[in-house]
Copies of this chain bind each other. A is one copy, B any other.
């Protein structure tokens, strides 16, 4: 079993050697800039950890895991644009449109999404790309409800905006490991709890979302509940889940 840090290193190494479509030409630079923003790679690491826990092969799961990171990165590049969140910085660096201009950032986001599908389609099994398409559409639906203020049911909006990619991380890990559909629900339920946990911690750190709606103490209770639920789900899963357990602990204790 590789540790979470070792899985993260595998993701970084794969990203470093990833070749984009040659027709993109010099658009490659903004793509790499956005991907090298030093994120935690939590979604691809979760995907690989699930694949390994389900007795899958990490190298075989890597393209799917990285495709998911490309979708996540596409959403950040577009979210940062003036038309949406208008964020000039991302993780201490100029965001893509500040570094390259709005038009290039727009195209770079589009290209990241298309590259994600190209990577997902490197598998013989189209279910990998299908999982990615469904999760991407759910995420976009959540963003739409967010910007239009249709967020009365905050849990539902966050389940779409964040939860769908977490769920896909688990789903892609299972599919690359060859876990049949019938055996997937308990794993996916774990992914759902992890998504709630991640988002509630995010909201506490950013002072928005759940933290703004129910207060920091309320959001902290949500974190504790989701962590407990996630750990309980792990107990019932077939496979060696110590790395997944470490991911839960790490996400619950996260301070940045």
Interface residues of chain A, those whose CB is within 8 Å of chain B, are 20-21, 23-27, 74, 78, 81-84, 97, 101-107, 109-111, 113-115, 117-118, 121, 123-126, 129-130, 133-134, 136-138, 140-145, 147-148, 150, 160, 164
Contact = CB atoms under 8 A, between A and B. Distances in A.
* Majority secondary structure, A binding face: helix
Given A118-B130, A121-B130, A141 B104 contact: no
Given A27-B144, A78-B110, A113-B110, A21 B138 contact: yes
B110 A121 contact: no
Contacts of A117: 117, 129, 133
Contacts of A20: 137
A143 to B, nearest CB: 6
A153 to B, nearest CB: 12
Contacts of A83: 81, 83, 97, 101-103, 105-106
B114 A140 contact: yes
Contacts of A81: 83, 106
6 contacts: A83-B103, A107-B144, A114-B137, A117-B117, A118-B134, A126-B126
Contact of A142 (B23, B126, B144): B23
Contacts of A140: 23-24, 27, 107, 110-111, 114
Contacts of A129: 117, 121, 126, 129
Ordered nearest first, which 3 A-B pairs have the shortest CB separation? A83-B102, A23-B141, A21-B137
